[in-house]
Amino acid sequence: MQTLEQLQYPIGRCEYPSVYTHELLQSMLLDIETLPKRMELAVQHLLEFQLQTPYRENGWTLNQVVHHCADSHMNFLLRLKLALSEDHPTIKPYDEALWAEMPDYQLPFNNSITLLFCIHAKLMLILRSLQPEQLDKTYFHPQYKRSFSIRDLIALYSWHGNHHLAHINSLKTRMNW
């Protein structure tokens, strides 16, 4: 039996490397680039009752997880653009739990899968074109009261996609789907 911590963080919590090697960044970029396809493959054959199953007690349904990823990665794109176009901007946090209760999270998952493909096409064009010095650009996150570099943003969203895919895949394994 898994603990609540294991169910919430099936791949562990996000850790930011002290050193970002070229190889590590390339691996993280590949995670980001392939997320839409990996997410689509993880949910495409699930039945409606499976999509409406929470990945843990009091957790989001799998459908909500997919919609959350689209919303979160939309914010990734906006934060990236803000960090690149302004001098250390303060970003606007959002209440992801409240967003998950909004009516659009009742739409079929394919709406957000399509959105993920579009968002990630834009993200990857920007991320693959960055000059090394641009990776040092930052934004301030008032909720965490800390600055994040673009390197940290890449690490966070590499982890984030894998984290939510693990929610989906671990439930599928536990339920033998």
Q: What is the pLDDT of residues 133-153, one digit of tens each?
A: 999 999 999 999 999 999 999
Angle at 72 between CA 75 and CA 130, to 5 degrees: 50
Taking 90 as the threshold, does the pLDDT of residue 2 lie above it?
no
- DSSP-based three-state secondary structure for 10: coil
Q: What is the pLDDT of residues 14-72, one digit of tens each?
A: 999 999 999 999 999 999 999 999 999 999 999 999 999 999 999 999 999 999 999 99
Q: How far is CA 72 from the centre of its chain?
A: 6
Name which of 63, 60, 61 is nearest 43 in CA terms: 63
Q: What is the pLDDT of residues 79-138, one digit of tens each?
A: 999 999 999 999 999 999 999 999 999 999 999 999 999 999 999 999 999 999 999 999
DSSP string, 91-117: PPP--HHHHTTSGGGGS-HHHHHHHHH
**Fold held by 35-144+161-175:** Four Helix Bundle (Hemerythrin (Met), subunit A) (1.20.120)
Torsions phi, psi of 142, nearest 5?
-65, -30
Domain boundaries, the chain: 35-144+161-175
According to the model, what pLDDT value does residue 1 have?
77
